[in-house]
Amino acid sequence: MNPIETIPADKVIVVRDLTKKFGDFTAVDHIRFEVGKGEIFGFLGANGAGKTTAMRMLCGLSKPTSGHAWVAGFDIYKESESIKKCIGYMSQKFSLYEDLKVWENIKLYAGIYGVPAKEIAPMTDDLLHRLGFEKEKNALVKSLPLGWKQKLAFSVAIFHQPKIVFLDEPTGGVDPATRRQFWELIYQAADQGITVFVTTHYMDEAEYCNRVTIMVDGRIDALDTPKNLKEHFEAKNMDEVFQQLARNAKRIEK
């Protein structure tokens, strides 16, 4: 692989033979893909397939063993600090500080991501208005229902207008109606040109992505639109596609 290869200008994430080994265990095995601006990119795979390891490398949190990747035009080896400034991240497990108020959480994250202090207050009011959370401005985050927390956490993750937002199982355990509202927020963000990189265990949500990858044993075994994947695997829905591919996993679960 030639590291001087030019990065396609319209691609926000470019991954070339990215590999991560832990001892003699290959967690991520020569993965290659590109993600376009404003795309909703679904990153699926069984537990232990290597999704989290791959995501950590793309966020600049873990050094690859070999291969290359550029995120928002920055090299993940040399420019990981620049990457961190132009991405947002949220997961089911870590999102907001429970003992801070709603507005305090927003101010904290906005500050960390370098939003100018003067702009934070009016942007906060605007955000709470859009979410219909005006009354909860002074509420402690721990008093909010889970679905609200997740919607707020997502909004906070894109508050600084990142180029890419990484979502790690953002809707786990959320009620069905709120799960759908959450996806409407994802669509809005994508319409604004934010690229969305999302993992989920809900296969109906895989259908909402522009393209979907399915990782098996550290490799990318499928990458296409949900429609093409279903045609190719002669499957009724994405769950069947997933079951067919993930059943091929040989790796003994660690």
Residues found near another protein in the complex (CB under 8 A): 45-49, 92, 143, 145-147, 169, 172-178, 180, 183, 187, 201-204, 207-208, 226-227, 230, 237-239, 242-243, 246-247, 249, 252-254
Nearer to another protein, 91 or 124 (CB): 91
Nearer to another protein, 12 or 49 (CB): 49
Q: How far is CA 184 from CA 18, 82, 204, 208, in A?
A: 32, 29, 14, 10
Nearer to another protein, 5 or 232 (CB): 232
Q: Please report how close the Cβ of residue 138 comes to another protein at its closest, in angstroms.
A: 16
Q: Please report how close the Cβ of residue 24 comes to another protein at its closest, in angstroms.
A: 16
Nearer to another protein, 48 or 73 (CB): 48
Q: Please report how close the Cβ of residue 3 comes to another protein at its closest, in angstroms.
A: 34
Q: Please report how close the Cβ of residue 201 comes to another protein at its closest, in angstroms.
A: 6
Between CA 234 and CA 212 the distance in angstroms is 16
Nearer to another protein, 84 or 180 (CB): 180
Q: Closest Cα to residue 33, out of 69, 84, 83?
A: 69
DSSP state at residue 155: H
Q: Closest Cα to residue 103, out of 148, 136, 129?
A: 136
Q: Give the pairing type, strands 66-71 and 11-22.
A: antiparallel
Q: Which two tokens stand for residue 162?
A: 């990142």
H or E element in which residue 154 lies:
helix 146-157
Q: Please report how close the Cβ of residue 86 comes to another protein at its closest, in angstroms.
A: 26
